[in-house]
Structure formats: C-alpha cells, structure tokens
Structure 1
C-alpha cells in the first residue's frame, strides 16, 4: 500500500477497481494510476488465501466458492476506504458481473477500469512472466469466465497494447474529464 489521498470529506473519496484477465497489466497500471493521483494502492491478490494461491499455482482455476471470501475481503477493504474518506486503487480480476456487483454495491464512488486485450498479446506476456502464482495455463479459463463490463457499469475501458504509463495517463485523463463534467 502507498499514499493516502484523503479528501476533505468522505463523500469525495473514490475507489478504482482495475480489472481484467491475468497478464493484462492490472498491477502495473494500477500502481501507476495510484502514484499519479496520490491515492492508496493495493493489489487484490494480497487478499487471496494461501489455499487459493496454491490452487492457482498448480494450474487449477478458482471456483465461486474459492472466490467468495476473497471478494468479501476486497469489498470490505473498499468500503473501509470510502468510509475513511480515502481514495484508492485496487487490483482485482473481477471477471464476472456478479463479482463486480459484490465489490461496488452499485456505488458511483467505485469505478471500474477494464484493461482489455486479446488472447495472443496476453498469452505472450504470461509466457515471459516468472515468479507469479497465476499459471499461464489458466488464461483460457479466465477468458471463458470474463464478462466484459457493460455500459451501465460506467467502466473506463482501455486497450493494453500501449506501454503501462500511457495506459495509466489515459485513465487519469478520463477521470479528470469526468470530474470536470460533474462540477
């Protein structure tokens, strides 16, 4: 975790959920966004149980029973940030609408940032990644599970072909444009 980014009132606090399949660059982009905005950052992977990590490392996909306590911990963290008036960025694959709904609870103060990319690009990235618990063998299950956010979820959707710093700047620019439009 880094930064605090507390606002003048709890109602000013916002949380971004940077989502997408494994290998889309969520952690890197989210950390850059948080740094640029001066907001708290945490990787949702840190909320996984040791059992979930071991299961994924072994190449087995998590099921909804495995995910439920993990999502509950992330959701509680998001709610605590909002209640404390602290803006933050959290990484979470949030592949299904139901998962996102359990994290956002319909709050407009929680915003999705969807990192969108194709299988070939992401598979290439995963093949080069070492030391991560998420097995590259799980990419197909990630895409099979993925329900891209719909317009009613008001996501910021960004392609992942550009360098992470460019992607992060696009997200920040979108947030700043949205803030200006809401004044």
Structure 2
C-alpha cells in the first residue's frame, strides 16, 4: 500500500514472486465510472470505492478458498479501507511503502505516457492515514533501492508475518499445486494461513513467466495433479524396469522378454496423454502469442475465445475417435502379449475428454478474468 509514486508497481510483483503467492491487482477491479474519474484527475469519494472494495474482498476470499497465499495490490490509504479488508481476512499484513511528497511528484512526473496530475498526488497525501501502530503493519522507506525494499518486506514476512512458523512444519504434508506455487524459483514458501497475506501493489511481472495461469485451482486441482503425477511416475518407472530388464536378459543371459517393447510402447502412449491433460490444467503447454499480445484487450479475448473453441472441438473429435477405436479394439489383441488393443485407446479418449472440458472452462475464464491493464493506465490510482 502507499501513495502514487511510492514504487508499488515493481515492489509488489517482486514480493509475490519471492513468497510464491498469487497476485491480485486492485486497479483491475475498479468500475468503469471510477476509471473515467481518475483519468480526468478527479479523486474518488468513499462512496465511489464501496463496490471496488467489495470486489477485492470477493477476490481475496476466492484465493483463500483455493488454498493459496496472495498479495493484494491496493493503495488502501484510509484506516477504514484497511479495516474492511482486515474484516474479510483476519491477520492481513500491510506493507506501507512510505515516501515524501517531493519524491512522489518527481516519480509521477517522470512516468512516460502516464497522465497523473499533481492535484491527484496532493489528494493522495491529503487522504493518507498512516497505518503506523496498526497490527501487522510494516512501514518501509520506499526511497531506498528496490532490492533493499524487497528484502526488508520478505524478511519481515518470514520473521514477523507468520511464514517462519510454517517453514518449520512438515511441508510434505501440505497439498501442492504446481501451477500456483513457484517456490523453486525464489525459495519462497506458500502458505494458506490468513496471517501470511500481504497487501502491496503490482502491475507487470519483472521476469518472463514459464507458465500461463492455471485453468482452475483449489483442492480438486490438487487432487487431479496428485493422481496424474503419480500415474506418470508409475508409467515412467514401469518403462524403465521393462526396458532395462529386457536389455540385461538379452546381453547377460542370451535371452530376452519378447513383450518388453510392446508393453513399453503401451506405457509411453499412456504417459503422453496423461501428461497432456495434466499440463493443460496447469497452463504449462506451449503458446505462441507474439502477434496476439499486440491486440487490444477485446480483440485478445475474441482471439482467445476462438482458440479455445477450436481446442474444444478438436479434442471432442479426438475423444470420439478414441472411443470408436476402443470399441473396435476389444476384439483385437496385441500380437505378442495379447492384451486388447482397446487398452491403448483408453488414455486417448479420457485425456481428450479432459482437454475438451478444460478448454470450455478456459473459454469461460477468458471473459471472467480481468485482463491486465497497460502500465500507463494501471498506475492511475486516486485514493
């Protein structure tokens, strides 16, 4: 939290990445009327912010239901705004990026392509009610280098914000959703406890994402991931054992297992299609979006909608083909081992059904999720 120019944009995503938390951008939840007022340089009233804050509460609670930590990007300049957020998430932590008036004017005036009148900066400082002394609050000197500010916030969260306690727990017992946690990148621990939530601000990630957003989350997603991960691990282990034993038998004892190649090929087919369904849920499939990303938001959504409709139709056709092959394959056995060839088509039909369903869910998400704003617009925050 903090006034415009305090460095919320860069600091917020760095904190989210370091802790492995989900990020929620408050500016994306403003009603259009609020955005129009801010663009015109008109400060928002308390009445203007009611719907906005209610939307933020819903988004925070959604993150809690999905069992993930979050970083809320919100200026939250008044005590009443912070209390409203605290009521929704008891123990919510606030990192206040404190900055002096002259530095704020200098930074806001230096933003390329951004319209932020000085009068709006004045209103921010006039509205600001310092959170110093409130529970779970850290006041940071935002005039320091960005890296120093990040280290101060993350160190505070790991020590005083409740993360240090969770770090001592047996993390192997905690559910893992690889699409919502990136602890491998920064060494951060993910926690679902309310005391581990941070309020800051962010717009654009500093580094390239390895994956897109997960299509859905929560306990069902975690269960789906566990099943597919264990199944893929078992299939890969089976392939290794079958192939290795066949090689040893052939070169050490002059014999071999004639069905090894056939069974390893069957396991490979299962492995590929189970992996495709799992990767699509997590948002880990490849995407080529260089041209699409240059389009306006509405056109991006239309392109994405057409893409997901095509994926759903193609997956449904493949599922129908897999089902027909299954029916046909029950009457034909493999030449060596003798298993019904329909067994090889089971993962094809099942994974294609899963892909069709996931594509339809993502089609809905295209219109439900708020698109990221350009930096020049996302930073317009009159609190």
TM-score per shorter chain, which class? Answer: 0.7 to 0.9
Tell me whether 1:158 sits opposite 2:140 in the alignment.
Answer: yes
Looking at structure 2, the residues matched to 112 and 78 of structure 1 have their Cα atoms a distance apart, in angstroms, of: 14
After TM superposition, the structure 1 stretch with the greater mean CA deviation from structure 2, 22-31 or 131-140, is: 131-140
Q: Looking at secondary structure, tell me which structure has more helix per residue.
A: 2
Query: Residue in 1 aligned with 2:355?
Result: none
Which consecutive unaligned segments of at least 5 residues does structure 2 have? 169-383
Query: Residue in 2 aligned with 1:57?
Result: 39
Q: Deviations over 1:88-133 (max 9, x none)?
A: 1111010101011111117444111111011001110000013346
- Residues 107 and 151 of structure 1, relative CA distance in 2, 3 Å threshold: farther
CA contact 1:56–1:135 (8 Å) conserved in 2: no
Looking at structure 1, the residues matched to 121 and 153 of structure 2 have their Cα atoms a distance apart, in angstroms, of: 25
Tell me whether 1:92 sits opposite 2:74 in the alignment.
Answer: yes
Query: Residue in 2 aligned with 1:9?
Result: none
CA contact 2:41–2:117 (8 Å) conserved in 1: yes
What SS class does the counterpart of residue 134 from structure 2 fall into? Answer: helix
TM-score, normalising length from structure 1? 0.83
Query: Residue in 1 aligned with 2:176?
Result: none
- Residues 34 and 66 of structure 1, relative CA distance in 2, 3 Å threshold: same
The count of aligned residue pairs is: 165
Q: How does 1:1-183 map to 2 (within 5 A)?
A: 19-105=1-87, 107-132=89-114, 134-178=116-160, 179=162, 180=164
Shift of 1:25: 1.2
Q: Which runs of 4+ in 1 moved over 6 A?
A: none
Shift of 1:134: 4.5
Looking at structure 2, the residues matched to 40 and 33 of structure 1 have their Cα atoms a distance apart, in angstroms, of: 10
CA contact 1:57–1:135 (8 Å) conserved in 2: no
Query: Residue in 2 aligned with 1:14?
Result: none
Q: Looking at secondary structure, tell me which structure has more strand per residue.
A: 1
What is the aligned-residue RMSD (CA, Å)? 1.8
Larger radius of gyration: 2
After TM superposition, the structure 1 stretch with the greater mean CA deviation from structure 2, 97-106 or 29-38, is: 97-106
Looking at structure 2, the residues matched to 23 and 36 of structure 1 have their Cα atoms a distance apart, in angstroms, of: 22
